[in-house]
Amino acid sequence: MHHQPSRRTVLATAAATAVTAGAFAAGVPSAQAAVPDRRLIRAIIARMSRAEKVGQLFVMRVYGHSATDPDPADVATNQSEMGVSDAAELIAKYHLGGIIYFSWAHNTRDPHQIADLSNGIQRAGLAHGTPIPLLISTDQEQGAVARIGCPATLFPGGMALGADGDPHDARAAAHVVGTELGAMGVNQNFSPVSDVNIDPANPVIGVRSFGADPQAVAALAAAQVKGYQGAGIASTAKHFPGHGDTGTDSHFDLPVITHSLDEWRRIDAPPFRAAIAAGIDSIMTAHILVPALDDSGDPATLSRRILTGILREELGYDGVVITDSLGMAGVRQKYGDDRVPVLALKAGADQLLNPPLLDVAWNAVLDALTSGEITEQRIDESLVRILELKARRGLFRNPYVTHQGVDRAVGIRSHLATADRITDRTVTLLSNPSRILPLPRRAHRNLLVVGADPAAPSGTGGPPTSVLAKALTDLGHPAQALPTGTAPGRAVIDEAVAAARGKDGVVIGTYNVTAAAAGQIALVEALVATGVPVVQIALRNPYDIAWLGGVAAGIAVYGWTDVSMRAVARVLAGRAAPTGRLPVAVPRADDPEQVLYPIGHGLKYR
């Protein structure tokens, strides 16, 4: 049975709701206000049609930089995937409760454009049927996952903050990010990652996690919740009940977590408990199997035992539960796309994120509501949570932003200085047997930077440069950039060896080195064989050094963005001291059961 979404524009209903929203806003003096009177929320819900109620549950992607005038290619994609031309039509047709921004969907060109897009989305939400502002979300975790780039202020990701280990820094970073997102009209960040990463081979979490120590992760997660929400936006702890101990990526398959119930309570639960204690607005589910928590074979996203029995009843959480993307393979293997959203709601989810086919998912939920499989009372419970979150974040009072607000907040000097200061404290010196670091200016005047550090045109007509090479050059260590990528062949290796001749040192950026990374290992071996000192920098996972012998020094920076490259350059040049400590253990390459460097390892300059 197919239902056409309601396009009601009954002026009396809209006006009545606007009055209610105004009274509602009057009781919410700030974005950090206490939860408003639920009677006002229920009054809004009582005026909503079933179609509007269903729409409020969905958070959806949309293509384009503008809510009403996207580029023709984005119009075509929207038509193909959702049967609409733009965000405004999508919101009008499905009464959506939220929109998620992606760079690949062309939503995030620059801060002023993002602000205009956000305002257009909010105008669309307030123009149709029952006027309700939207939650506008994104994944601005920092580090490996950041949907909005420069000139917004960028920080290193979770594991780098774990290496710093200071909750005050984690909170400060989140406050800066939250302030800038809010200025651009993004009022919900899907961060912090609260998974405890204890599997070095984890392909989907890894450096997105704060580390492998549950208590340390819990402290940093709670700090970031307070930072984001102190800046006035919603924070989202993810991925419940814990995605840190798996070698499988839930984007492409269904991971199985083999922790016992006691292990789950000891390892995975503490960060979520801490986030809840810190007042977290929303928690995102994981598409994983955890047999010790639910042996039904259903992923956590669809498990009533996990979402209601454990999250709500055992942990006492009464905020918004949002699914991870319903387009991921981990949640689509057992049931069809028409059943997944229905089962997620029955399990205890409130928001349904980014289904692959919105029409199928939306109508399936409306069918379930019409048939009585899901009661209206159950839907209303989710609506109360969602609308309370919107009210708590000030959206009923004023959902709009301005260019002036963007200019006062995004990428300002004080924020950039905070990012540099915190990032300096994340750089971790793992080995320095020859005491080559810090680089003495006179003995190491000419350097070669190779590896995965991306080179870019110099802009001067000269040879390519890179952020790291330029930063070293600016600090008095002239550096030539020769990007060799993550899988260099023999010709590239020979070119690097030739370029190393006559240099005072080589700095190589490695990226996720394992036994399969034969090219990177061979490159390091060939450079070491030249006799020129080689300094290795792990640009993502800190485990690389276990596979690389003979290097003069090894450093972990847990990320490859500009802010991390500038920080490691300062450490190499002795302008900043290495103070980072490993938040995970680095196992030996030849015997993974043995630890090469334990949690907490990190050298200092003497």
Q: What pLDDT, in 10s, does the model give residues 372-411?
A: 999 999 999 999 999 999 999 999 999 999 999 999 999 9
Residues with catalytic function: 251, 324
Is 20's pLDDT higher than 60? Answer: no
Q: Domain map of the chain by residue range?
A: 28-409, 427-597
The pLDDT of residue 202 is 85
Q: Average pLDDT of 131-143?
A: 96
The pLDDT of residue 250 is 75
Residues 6+ apart with CB under 8 A from 78: 62, 63, 64, 70, 84, 85, 86, 89, 90
Q: Which of 34-38, 391-395, 493-497 has the lowest mean pLDDT?
A: 34-38
Q: Do 28-409 and 427-597 have matching folds?
A: no
Mean pLDDT of the chain: 91
Angle at 188 between CA 91 and CA 153, to 5 degrees: 120
Is 11's pLDDT higher than 60? Answer: no
Q: Average pLDDT of 223-234?
A: 98
The pLDDT of residue 5 is 35
Architecture field, domain 28-409: Alpha-Beta Barrel (3.20)
Give the helix ranges, DSSP H, for 57-86.
72-82
pLDDT, tens digit, 9 for 90 and up, residues 323-345: 999 999 888 988 999 999 999 99
- Where residue 606 falls among pLDDT bands split at 50, 70, 90? confident
Q: How far apart are CA 595 and CA 557, in angstroms?
A: 20
Architecture field, domain 427-597: 3-Layer(aba) Sandwich (3.40)
Q: Which of 5-14, 104-113, 180-189, 502-511 has the lowest mean pLDDT?
A: 5-14
- Where residue 457 falls among pLDDT bands split at 50, 70, 90? very low
Q: Which of 123-137, 395-409, 439-453, 490-504 has the lowest mean pLDDT?
A: 439-453
The pLDDT of residue 201 is 86
- Where residue 90 falls among pLDDT bands split at 50, 70, 90? very high
Is 469's pLDDT higher than 90? Answer: yes
What is this structure's pTM? Answer: 0.92
Are the C-beta atoms of 483 and 450 separated by less than 8 Å? yes
The pLDDT of residue 413 is 98
The pLDDT of residue 6 is 35
Is 571's pLDDT higher than 70? Answer: yes
Is 596's pLDDT higher than 60? Answer: yes
The amino acid at residue 348 is: G
The pLDDT of residue 458 is 39
Q: Average pLDDT of 93-112?
A: 97
- Where residue 111 falls among pLDDT bands split at 50, 70, 90? very high
Q: How far apart are CA 246 and CA 248, in angstroms?
A: 5
Helix or strand (DSSP H, E) at 556: strand 553-556
Residues 6+ apart with CB under 8 A from 385: 318, 319, 320, 350
Q: Average pLDDT of 161-184?
A: 98
Is 290's pLDDT higher than 90? Answer: yes
Q: How far apart are CA 585 and CA 596, in angstroms?
A: 8
- Where residue 14 falls among pLDDT bands split at 50, 70, 90? very low
Distance of CA 465 to the CA centre of its chain: 29
Q: Average pLDDT of 130-140?
A: 96
Q: Average pLDDT of 424-435?
A: 96
Please compute Rg for the chain using Cα positions: 25
Q: How far apart are CA 446 and CA 201, in angstroms?
A: 36
